[in-house]
Amino acid sequence: MRRYDAEYTQLKSLLETGRLGRPLMLHNRHRNVSAPPGFTSEMLISDSVVHEMDITRWLLGQEITAVTVLKPTPSGNAPQGVQDPQLVLFETSGGAIVDVEINVNCGFGYQVQAEVVCERGTARIGDGHALVTNMAGHWGGTIAQDFVERFEDAYDRQMQAWVDATRRGEVTGPSAWDGYATTAIVDAGIRAQKEGGRIEVDLLPRPPFYN
């Protein structure tokens, strides 16, 4: 779905122009007000960071080759036994380093942000500053409270793109390879979370018909 978000598509278009040079690092923040009942430490990877796994491959046009998960002291907002937040690191086939702060019990809002660091500049999305107020010595705005509010338009564009492609007799959107690759990365992420250290992604060679 993030592939259809206006800010993400704008960021990808900018990277593809080459104006900023090669991407060297990508910083991500993924925060939720609170996790639903039954949410486990493992689900921080399989239900939340999975989105960064997919969007990293799409934005950079590179495969993720290894995953490391770092676990700080759990937040007092997290349910008993849930290791939240976590810092997840990706290495890519193109040599980029990617970090993801995942914090599913931040308490204040829903945020998805990304900043890419390239050879000749940086680009950042997700600040959500559509409306900023200045009043009585303070400035600020509002923060989305859930993923529906943040990505409502992206969901609409995704569905419309599918409908339009169907009418043309075409296929659009992520492929089966994208699904397989992301699943392989999730598996590596869960292993890294449980075992500690750096875990390489076990990915089969990409079939030529996906190129």
pTM above 0.75, yes or no: yes
| pLDDT at residue 135, rounded to an integer | 62
CA distances from 128 to 10, 58, 88, 125, 155 (A): 15, 22, 23, 8, 17
Write out pLDDT tens, residues 74-114.
Answer: 999 999 999 999 999 999 999 999 999 999 999 999 999 99
Tokens read off for 162? 């599918």
Q: Please, what are the domains in the chain?
A: 2-205 (3.30.360.10)
- For residues 33 and 39, what is the distance between their CA atoms, to the nearest angstrom? 13
> What residue ranges in the chain does DSSP mark as E strands?
23-31, 64-70, 86-92, 97-103, 111-118, 122-125, 133-135, 138-140, 198-200
